[in-house]
Amino acid sequence: TDAILQEGTEKIIRDLSMYKGVWVFAEQREGKIMPVVFELLGEGKKLANEIGTELCAILCGSNVAGLTDELIAYGADKVYLADAPELEKYTTDGYSKVINEAIGVYKPEIVLYGATHIGRDLAPCLAVKVNTGLTADCTKLEIDPDDKKIRQTRPAFGGNLMATIVCPGSRPQMSTVRPGVMDKAVYDPTKKGEVIKLNAVFAEGDIRTKVLEIVKTTADIISISDADFIVAGGMGLGKPEGMELLQQLADKLGGTVAASRACVDAGWADHNIQVGQTGTTVKPQIYFACGISGAIQHIAGMQESDLIIAINKNENAPIFEVADYGIVGDLYKVIPAIIDELNK
């Protein structure tokens, strides 16, 4: 199909059949690929197989050529590499310039970005530059078997409904995807792929921002999105010191502590460990929800966990609707009992 887009008085005819391939934005920081990229490669592979196309990664940075093997091992058939000193630190101008040019030349059908701070900044800018749509914060992606277009699902209206969105008349179809929602790609170091070097050349004034310094929020960043075991607490803790009890259980399991937004708002926990719609989406092997009521905005961030164990003294708390195991009781009695059992 041809899509006709109106831009001012000029008509742009776009032949949508020219657009091929699923691309993943391979976000790296300080030479390390972000974990969400491996999830996007896993999901991207499924989409590419269903459409019958190739999976590609686009990597930007300075001296990052060494990362291409890892991307190929995680499933990329091709890696588009933009390697230049100007790309050492992320800037919207620098990254969007090279990716916009690459999209113009190679015409991907789908481009996926992690819904990280960088992905959420870059993707909308590119959507405007390439004149296409963007669905932000997706939790599910599917190919429609009839028209082969991507169906992009995301929570809307405070998580009260799930909206499924299509991008009918323009290409590429673009989504940012929440970290922690999709399954990671399988690592195969024997896989072969091609690296295509992009022409990352910048003129004076192309990059209007200068990054002076990068300040990390805490010296030791706690990553709940990567944890296998999470012990999360809510207002049922009753006091900030309750977080210490959660930490004891987390230490026993080799896991980490997380919190509901109400705890974060109360100043009992840092936003880095908030689970939910306005926090982080997590998918651990076990998620303990202790004294958490189970508001829809919280559930949106943890319902994909492999096993959910809820402890709440109200047997009608909504958290029990998503829990695999529910313990009705006072968390100050239940958690020490679990720790005692683990000690045995």
Neighbours of 16 (CB within 10 A): 17
Map the footprint of ligand FAD across residues 209-268, applying CB under 6 A: 234-236, 260-263
Q: Of 177, 292, 323, 338, which one interacts with ligand FAD (CB under 6 A)?
A: 292
Query: Which window, 87-95, 97-105, 221-229, 285-293, contacts ligand FAD (CB under 6 A)?
Result: 285-293
Q: Of 180, 312, 335, 338, which one interacts with ligand FAD (CB under 6 A)?
A: 312
Chain centroid offset of residue 8 CA: 35
In a 10 Å sphere around its CB, with 0-12 CB exposed, 13-18 middle and 19+ buried, how is residue 6 labelled? exposed
What's the longest Cα–Cα distance across the chain? 76
Determine what percent of the chain falls in helix, strand and coil, rounding each to the nearest 5. Answer: 30, 30, 40
Question: Least CB distance from residue 72 to ligand FAD, whole Å?
Answer: 36
Question: Least CB distance from residue 216 to ligand FAD, whole Å?
Answer: 22
Q: Report the DSSP pairing between strands 134-138 and 173-177.
A: parallel
Collapsed DSSP state (helix, strand, coil) of residue 188: coil
Nearer to ligand FAD, 47 or 290 (CB): 290
Nearer to ligand FAD, 154 or 261 (CB): 261
Backbone angles phi, psi at 115, to 5 degrees: -85, 55
Nearer to ligand FAD, 100 or 272 (CB): 272
CA dist 302 and 316 (Å) reads 19
Query: Which window, 64-72, 126-134, 200-208, 308-316, contacts ligand FAD (CB under 6 A)?
Result: 308-316
Collapsed DSSP state (helix, strand, coil) of residue 331: helix
Nearer to ligand FAD, 176 or 274 (CB): 274
Q: Of 140, 191, 252, 313, which one interacts with ligand FAD (CB under 6 A)?
A: 313
Length of the chain: 344
Q: Of 277, 281, 303, 305, which one interacts with ligand FAD (CB under 6 A)?
A: 277
Q: Of 16, 196, 297, 339, which one interacts with ligand FAD (CB under 6 A)?
A: 297
CA dist 332 and 236 (Å) reads 10
Nearer to ligand FAD, 14 or 178 (CB): 178
CA dist 187 and 178 (Å) reads 21
Residue 80: HSE in the Cβ half-sphere, 13 Å Cα cutoff: 25
Nearer to ligand FAD, 108 or 155 (CB): 155
Indicate the annotated binding residues for FAD: 260-261, 274-278, 291-298, 312
Q: Of 170, 176, 256, 293, which one interacts with ligand FAD (CB under 6 A)?
A: 293
- In degrees, rounded to 5, the angle at the alpha carbon of residue 36 between the alpha carbons of residues 214 and 290 is 95
Q: Of 123, 127, 246, 311, which one interacts with ligand FAD (CB under 6 A)?
A: 311
78 binds ligand FAD (CB under 6 A): no
Nearer to ligand FAD, 229 or 332 (CB): 332
Give the CA distances from residue 139 to residues 56, 104, 177, 178, 180, in Å, rounded to whole numbers and listed in that order: 21, 27, 6, 6, 9
Query: Which window, 8-16, 171-179, 248-256, 269-277, contacts ligand FAD (CB under 6 A)?
Result: 269-277
Map the footprint of ligand FAD across residues 129-188, applying CB under 6 A: 158
Nearer to ligand FAD, 111 or 258 (CB): 258
Q: Of 119, 255, 276, 284, which one interacts with ligand FAD (CB under 6 A)?
A: 276
In three-state form (DSSP H/G/I as H, E/B as E, the rest C), the secondary structure along 289-322 is EECCCCCHHHHCCCCCCCEEEEEECCCCCCHHHH
Give the CA distances from residue 285 to residues 42, 225, 228, 296, 304, in Å, rounded to whole numbers and listed in that order: 18, 11, 5, 21, 10
Indicate the annotated binding residues: 260-261, 274-278, 291-298, 312
Interface contacts to ligand FAD, rule CB under 6 A: 158, 234-236, 260-263, 274-279, 291-293, 295, 297-298, 301, 311-314, 317, 330-332
